């Protein structure tokens, strides 16, 4: 399986807690005004990268993983496969950024498939009028840091609690 990857940053600290390997996937249809990464919108952009290559990069360091883009949920089957392999082969904590809302994801069997292997979803489109650079790990105040396991088990949105506060 090939996934179009725009960039991989090893050791980033802005896309989740601690040092992380951030994998930026190509493709987004949300078109958020003020997007910090509009070059990511083209789903044919980036470089086709094998699942095996991505897993080797993740295994090659001691960092948890963040998947961003673009919007990784644009290709939920590929996202599910990538997250499944990362989780089962490395046990790493996985965060995923998306312009879809939690409700949109949960109301779609196709979009919700990757949730089985994701620990935290940062949901919602970036809204320029709600931009706040003081927010932790997100760009606008409508976006939430959702604890996936807890939210799925309770049936209500549970936001991720920062253990460092």
Q: HSE of 10 in the Cβ direction (CA atoms, 13 Å)?
A: 10
Q: Which residues pair with 9 in a beta bridge?
A: 22
Helix (H, G, I), strand (E, B) or coil at 154: helix
**CA dist 111 to 3, 88, 96, 100, 103, Å?**
17, 20, 13, 9, 10
Euclidean distance between CA atoms 28 and 47, whole angstroms: 16
Q: Tens of pLDDT along the chain (165 residues)?
A: 899 999 999 999 999 999 999 999 999 988 888 887 878 888 889 999 999 999 999 999 989 999 999 999 999 999 999 999 999 999 999 999 999 999 999 999 999 999 999 999 999 999 999 999 999 999 999 999 999 999 999 999 999 988 776
User: Can you tell me which residue has the tokens 């409508």?
Assistant: 142
Q: Are 66 and 120 in contact (CB under 8 A)?
A: no
Q: Are 86 and 58 in contact (CB under 8 A)?
A: yes
Structure pTM? 0.95
Best CATH choice for the domain 2-154 from the list 3.20.20.70, 2.40.50.140, 1.10.150.130, 3.50.4.10: 3.20.20.70
**What residue ranges do the domains of the chain occupy?**
2-154
């Amino acid at each position: 399986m090939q996934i179009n990857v725009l960039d991989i940053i090893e050791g980033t600290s802005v896309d989740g807690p601690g040092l992380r390997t951030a994998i930026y996937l190509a493709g987004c249809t949300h078109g958020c005004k003020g997007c910090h990464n509009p070059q990511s919108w083209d789903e044919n952009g980036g470089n086709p990268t094998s699942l095996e290559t991505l897993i080797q990069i993740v295994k090659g360091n001691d960092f948890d993983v963040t998947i961003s883009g673009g919007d990784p949920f644009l290709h939920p089957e590929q996202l599910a496969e990538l997250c499944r392999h990362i989780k089962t082969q490395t046990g790493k904590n996985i965060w995923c950024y998306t312009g879809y809302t939690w409700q949109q994801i949960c109301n779609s069997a196709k979009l919700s498939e990757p949730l089985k292997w994701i620990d935290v979803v940062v949901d919602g489109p970036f809204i320029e009028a709600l931009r706040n650079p003081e927010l932790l790990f997100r760009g606008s105040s409508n976006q939430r840091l959702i604890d996936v396991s807890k939210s799925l088990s309770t049936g209500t949105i549970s936001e991720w609690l920062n253990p460092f506060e």
